[in-house]
Structure 1
Amino acid sequence: MTIRVALAGAHGTMGTLFDSILSDIADVEVVARLGRSSSLDELDHADLVVDVTHPEASRAIVEHAARNGAQVLVGTSGWSESRIAELRGSIPDDAGVLIIPNFSLGSVLGTTLATIAARFYSSIEIVESHRASKADSPSGTAVRTAELMTAARAGLGPVEAPHTEQRARGQEVAGIPVHSVRRQGVVARQEVLFGGTGETLSVIHDTVDPSAYERGIRLSLDAVRTVRGLVVGLENVLDLGITRA
């Protein structure tokens, strides 16, 4: 059975990568490639909608696709916990939506390691760097990492984050300062900094080429076919072989 796919954001960097990968999957046919001026009606004949657009456009695309019975794979950044909660209340209970803040295996492993470490350190900050043209900050990966670390620290008290009223201290996400750098020559980098008595720990992940996303994209395209409800994170697609926090 051929799966009909609509690709929203087809002409962007991630859209181009998705298009190349989709064309290599035997039982998939891309029936629509949407750009900025496309109508949402172009999604209506798809079994699967892939959304790699812009944070401002993503919600309408996901809601429209889910209400029309399509499975949805979201690679658009900017989906915070609060936005996900709003989406959960606006789509059918039997919808299948998979949101992936970052398709890199190294990135999800870095976030998992940081989530484990967060239980043992109370001084935590995130520094993330992306290309100069990235539309949103903090990155969706940094937001996801901060939210997971704070959840892992439930019952341990807030993170030590002094002087966060000063703008140079970054933006607080789930109580953790996040510093965003946008510059040329960078694909993606995240460093989670931990401080403890007499020691520091850094969990660093660098994406040096977009090809790092390919394996995660293929795994997600396979997993989204059977997703029920709203699932967030590549870690929920992988078998990490550990007990999660």
Structure 2
Amino acid sequence: MTIRVAVAGATGKMGRLALDLIEASDDLELHAALSSKSELDEMLGADVALDVSHPAASAGIVEFSAGAGIPIVVGTSGWSSERIADIERFVRDHEEAGAVLFIPNFSIGSVLGTAFAALAAPWFDSIEIVEAHHAGKVDSPSGTAVRTAELVGEARAGKGPVAAPHADQRARGQLVSGIPVHSLRMSGLLAEQRVVLGGDGETLTIAHSTLSPSSYEAGILLALRHAPEAVGVTVGLGTLIGLDLPTAGGGE
């Protein structure tokens, strides 16, 4: 079976990567390549949509696709657990709605790093996240950092909040689920995340670095191939690779 894919954000870096993957694949076929000037109804007739557009445009794309019964894989940043909850209600209230898969990060290594941080979180009372991306990334914190912070918070639900002294000071980062998150945006970087956990006499650092966009390829293909059979709302690539993680949300 060939899966017809509509790509929203086709002119961006992730969009161009997706187009190359679709062209090289035997079971995927490009249905439409949408830019910011395209009409959303160009997605109609696709078996699955991929949203790698812009945070300001993503909500409209997701609502159109889901409302049209087209499953959509969302790789665009800016999706917090609260915004995802709105989409969950929309999908639940519309019987014919297409499934929505929110994938904050298509990198398998990044997903595993987040899972390791959630696993370690109950054992440490001091936890902070430092994430760094290229200068062109328009949002901060990153969706991956938001996802990680939310999962760390879920993992510590029975332990109480982390120790975050002087959180009122701007230099201490933005609190996400009670976790201080610090963002760097600068030339020379692609994507990095470090979760630093501190305990009595020790620290544990869980770090992941993205060195090439090729690290996203396996995750993109996995999500596109899974989407046509998906139901409801799925959050995170971890679900697709069998990781047992909480369902809190995020964006890349």
**Distance in 2 between the 1:95 and 1:39 partners?**
19
Q: Is 1:234 equivalent to 2:223 in the alignment?
A: no
- Report the TM-score, using the length of structure 1 for normalisation: 0.96
Identity fraction in percent: 54
Instruction: Select the residue among 145, 150, 170 that pairs with 2:148.
Output: 145
SS of residue in 2 equivalent to 1:31: strand
Comparing 5-14 with 43-52, greater Cα deviation is found at 43-52
Where do 5+ consecutive residues of structure 1 fail to align? none
What is the one-letter code of the residue matched to 2:103?
A: I
Q: 1:177 aligns with which of 176, 180, 183?
A: 180
Q: Which moved more, 1:31-40 or 1:146-155?
A: 31-40
Greater relative contact order, per chain length (Cα 8 Å cut-off, separation 6+): 2
Distance 1:64 1:220 in 2: 19
User: What is residue 107 of structure 2 aligned with on the other side?
Assistant: 104
Distance 2:41 2:228 in 1: 21
Comparing 108-117 with 215-224, greater Cα deviation is found at 215-224
Which residue matches 2:77? 77
**In structure 2, how many angstroms separate the alpha carbons of the residues matched to 1:174 and 1:239?**
24
Structure 2 stretches lacking a partner, 5+ long: 247-252
2:31 equivalent in structure 1: 31
* Cα displacement (A) at 1:199: 0.5
Name the structure 1 match of 2:222. Answer: 219
Tell me what 2:130 maps to: 127
- Quote the residue 2:157 is aligned against: 154
The 3-state SS of whatever aligns with 1:118 is helix
CA distance in structure 2 between the aligned counterparts of 1:68 and 1:77, rounded to whole angstroms: 22
Asked if residue 18 in structure 1 is aligned to residue 15 in structure 2, the reply is no
Q: Give the C-alpha shift of residue 244 in structure 1.
A: 4.7
Matches of 2:43 and 2:173 in 1, distance apart?
38
2:130–2:193 CA contact under 8 A, matched in 1: yes
Q: Give the number of equivalent residue pairs.
A: 243
Q: Which amino acid aligns with 2:164?
A: A
Cα separation, 2, equivalents of 1:24 and 1:81: 34
Distance 1:35 1:229 in 2: 26
- Deviation per CA, 1:10-48: give whole Å up to 9, x if none: 010000000001112223221211111111111122121
1:225 Cα offset (Å): 2.0
Root-mean-square deviation (CA, aligned residues, Å) is 1.3
The amino acid that maps onto 1:30 is L
The one-letter code sitting in structure 1 at the alignment partner of 2:14 is M
Q: Tell which deviates more after alignment, 5-14 or 81-90.
A: 81-90
How many Å apart are 1:87 and its aligned residue? Answer: 1.4
